[in-house]
Chains A and B, each alone.
Chain A
Amino acid sequence: MLLEMNVTLRRGNFRLTTDLSVQDESMGLIGRSGAGKSTVLGLLAGTLMPESGRIALDGKILFDNGKGIIVPREQRPIGSVLQYDQLPSGETVQDGLFASYERTLKQRRTLKPDRLIEFLDIGPLLTQPMGHLSTCERQRVLLAKALLKSPKLLLLDDPLATMGHFAHSVAPLLKRVQSELDLPLFYASHTLGNIVEFSDKAAVLDEGRIVRIGLINDLLQDPDLIQKIGLSQIENRMPALIVSHNTDNGCTLAQSYGIELVLPLRCDLPLGSWVTVGIPANDIALSRNYIYGISIQNQINGEICALIPRETGVLVQIDCGNVWLAGVTLKAL
């Protein structure tokens, strides 16, 4: 997949200019609200029209104002779940889903609709009109529609953020689809944890321009860039093995990189299974000494690698076997 996007768009005082070329890569889109993340996705999906420029996917022109080419959304080989997507309110879920599927050439169909409907728990919704869906249901239906198109590129405007508990099962599904089909995915979010599920690379947008593209770990080292990123929450993500459940004291024990983690009881996590645990950086405090007589059960020793200034304080990077991030105020520092 080779995506080339060189367009401009002006809406009121907002002006967006992109010069982007991406080959076979998934990418996060990060930036403050209003930086242009959703606009970039809308321009690629075909819900927004650039003023000028060119968008091409694998050499096929999707938009070129010089040549007068505008390929409509449904004909673009791009699947998308956007924040402000309108669904035809009278159409049933089933009709909407199968319209996407039937439009795709048989030899290009990559997924089995019945299994996708089952995995996304859409079955009970099939006879409902699209307009009657809740936000969470709507996001799952939009995702199914996007995937049944067998796209060459998938655009996601943080659907996991509004899927509630379904995010636990939808994220692994998306990761499996991404790897099985080698499907590049663009994921826009304010939550770094959702982006790193799918990509270790991100483009940073600021005031309608892509100001940096790079590995997320590298981007987080740049204090100036951290100011521009506008992430609402930075979360530590770590793989963990579920070791035991103790119903007497209400704890689940897990192991991550040799560290024992004490978690609130989650009996639904099978013993011996691997999970990804997320702990917000702001839920981690620092101490120079081990503290006795405190309710916090996890006290993990490590060494500070870096101090990264943020708008609201400092992000402290600590090597505890793997890297942890702790958010502290300037006063605490």
Chain B
Amino acid sequence: MNLQERDKVYCLAKTQSFSYRSNAEPNAFSQLFAKEKGRD
């Protein structure tokens, strides 16, 4: 392909084996901590 920096390309992404993780909501894991920040 003779690829060089600054060349324009298309990324062809296969996603059959993609992984994912749910991002924690701010209120997730409530009641886990003995003291939560700002709640002394």
Given the complex of chains A and B, what is the CA–CA distance between A66 and B32 in angstroms?
42
Count of A interface residues, CB-CB < 8 Å: 66
**Residue pair B19, A289 in contact (C-beta under 8 Å):** no
Given the complex of chains A and B, what is the CA–CA distance between A116 and B22 in angstroms?
18
Which 7 residue pairs spanning A and B have beta carbons closest together? A172-B24, A278-B19, A298-B13, A285-B12, A283-B14, A115-B32, A274-B23
**Residue pair A333, B1 in contact (C-beta under 8 Å):** yes
Q: Which residue of B lies closest to A115 (CB)?
A: B32
* Contacting residues, chain A, for B34 (C-beta < 8 A): 109-112
Given the complex of chains A and B, what is the CA–CA distance between A36 and B15 in angstroms?
34
**Residue pair B19, A235 in contact (C-beta under 8 Å):** yes
Pick from B5, B6, B19, B36: contact of A277, CB under 8 Å: B19
* Contacting residues, chain B, for A318 (C-beta < 8 A): 9, 11
The contact string, 1 if C-beta is below 8 Å from chain A, for chain B 15-30, is: 1111111111000110
14 A-B pairs whose Cβ atoms sit less than 8 Å apart in the complex = A112-B32, A171-B21, A172-B22, A173-B29, A276-B23, A278-B20, A283-B14, A284-B12, A284-B14, A286-B3, A303-B7, A316-B9, A324-B13, A333-B2
A276 and B18 in contact (CB under 8 A), knowing A110-B33, A111-B32, A286-B3? no
- Give residues 280-305 of A contacting B (CB, 8 Å): 280, 283-291, 294, 296-305
**Residue pair B29, A262 in contact (C-beta under 8 Å):** no
**Residue pair B6, A304 in contact (C-beta under 8 Å):** yes
* Contacting residues, chain B, for A112 (C-beta < 8 A): 31-34
**Residue pair B10, A304 in contact (C-beta under 8 Å):** no
- Check: A193 CB closer than 8 A to any chain B CB: yes
Given the complex of chains A and B, what is the CA–CA distance between A262 and B35 in angstroms?
41
* Contacting residues, chain A, for B33 (C-beta < 8 A): 110-112, 180-181
**Residue pair A288, B7 in contact (C-beta under 8 Å):** yes
Q: Which residue of A lies closest to B36 (CB)?
A: A180
B positions within 8 Å CB-CB of A: 1-24, 28-29, 31-37
A positions within 8 Å CB-CB of B: 109-112, 115-116, 119, 167-169, 171-173, 175-177, 180-181, 193, 197, 235, 239, 261-264, 266, 269, 273-280, 283-291, 294, 296-307, 316, 318, 320, 324, 326, 328, 332-333
Pick from A167, A181, A286, A305: contact of B12, CB under 8 Å: A286
* Contacting residues, chain B, for A115 (C-beta < 8 A): 29, 31-32
| A272 CB to nearest B CB, Å | 11
**Residue pair B13, A279 in contact (C-beta under 8 Å):** yes
A287 and B10 in contact (CB under 8 A), knowing A110-B34, A274-B23? yes
Pick from A173, A280, A291: contact of B24, CB under 8 Å: A173
* Contacting residues, chain A, for B21 (C-beta < 8 A): 167-168, 171-172, 197, 275-276, 278
* Contacting residues, chain B, for A320 (C-beta < 8 A): 11
Given the complex of chains A and B, what is the CA–CA distance between A303 and B10 in angstroms?
8
